[in-house]
Amino acid sequence: MSEEKLAFVGKQVKDIYGTFIGRVVGIITEIDGEIESVGVDCGSSGIKQMPYEQLVVQGDYVFFIPRWRLEAQKLIRQKSLTLKRIKALQEIVSENDSMKEDAELVTIKYEKKLHDLEESEKAVSDKLTARVAELDSETKQVKAVLFDAKLQFRSNEMKDETYQQVKIGTDELIEHINNEKTEIGNVKSKLASLTIENIATTASAPATPAPAPATTEAPAGDVPQADGPSEASASAEDKPSGGERQSQDSEWLHQVIQQ
């Protein structure tokens, strides 16, 4: 195996909202040498095998992307494309009635695809709702830690310096949780807005040039901000070794990491 494929071994792992997870200690490979999973030392939780496709390298860190985020973006992309094609078929028929019979056969195919995607959307929506419930539970636990620290501080059992450290740590955790909840809300809104009517409105609106990609690298240790899903792609060099396996479903994640 090339040194390039081992370059991320030893790097610290965070989730994309900034929460520290552990450190990469090794990899598990398939018989052809491709990376299957990455072993991460999570301290008292032991070593966890994380799927390779959910990891992306940025600077000195390896960032872990939640599975729900990959599934949601894939669904958004597929549903958007399906709706655009259904709309295009409708426009073709309206412009040329002689193609109606041929278009109907293709329309049936895409309407079935749309139905299947709507079923998948229900499953993804359930996962997002469950994740929000988990985050709400985590928020309560973090606030309980902060409240207890404040109680100890007021009763002179804890020094001000220690209390401030607890407060900084818990504030960061709350911020990470809120970032994820905000993104989940954005994903739900995006899915709800994907309709034939909105696709038609988008198609008739004037195109807006995409901003030029940033050329500077984020300083090591910066917490990546979740700005909601983006469909922009980034260079495969940002991905850990074996970038040839990277699917289009996760390319959009690189720009989020770079921001």
Domain at 1-64+209-259: CATH code: 2.30.30.240
Which pLDDT does position 4 carry in this prediction?
Answer: 53
- pLDDT tens readout for residues 90-101: 888 787 777 777
How many Cα atoms are found within 13 Å in the side-chain-facing hemisphere of 24? 27
**Rounded Cα–Cα distance for residues 43 and 29 (Å):** 23
Whether 69 contacts 181, CB under 8 Å: no
- H or E element that contains 150: helix 100-154
- pLDDT tens readout for residues 160-217: 999 999 999 999 999 999 999 999 999 999 999 988 888 764 444 444 443 333 333 3
Model confidence band, residue 249 (pLDDT cutoffs 50, 70, 90): very low
**Strongest mean pLDDT among 3-17, 36-50, 236-250:** 36-50
Residue position matching structure tokens 């990470």: 176
Residue extents of the structural domains in the chain: 1-64+209-259, 67-205
Q: 0.85 cut: is pTM over it?
A: no
Q: Which residues of 30-44 are buried (b: 16+ CB within 10 A; e: fewer)?
A: eeeeebebbbbeeee
The 3-state DSSP composition of the chain as helix, strand, coil percent (nearest 5) reads 60, 15, 25
